[in-house]
Amino acid sequence: MSWVPRFPEVKANLGLSNGEFGTYLSLGSVGAVIAMLSSGHFVHKLGAKPVLIISTLSMCLSISLIVHLQSTPIFIVANMIIF
């Protein structure tokens, strides 16, 4: 939620309408469902420590990247990683 105040800036960078931006934001919940379904398998195969390190790094990178994006497909993927 730390990037919520920057929603107007992100929406302007992507050139989206309110409806499109809302739809793309709601796609972040798909990323949460995918993470819930797959994280147990990854922890079982790789162990908890590598999964925690990879997930933490990917979330930090996505949060810092998302406010500078100008490509909608990359924004959708980064938004899914954040959620």
At 67-78, the pLDDT tens digits run 899 999 999 999
Q: Into how many domains does the chain fold?
A: 1
Torsion of CA 56, 58, 62, 64, to 10 degrees: 60
Residue whose pair of structure tokens reads 């925690």 in the numeric block: 52
Question: What pLDDT, on the 0 to 100 scale, is given for residue 83?
Answer: 81
Grade residue 1 by pLDDT with cuts at 50, 70 and 90: low
User: Residue 3: which pLDDT band, with cuts at 50, 70 and 90?
Assistant: confident
pLDDT in tens, 11-33: 999 999 999 999 999 998 998 89
Determine contact, residues 63/10, Cβ cutoff 8 Å. no
Structural domain harbouring 61: 4-82
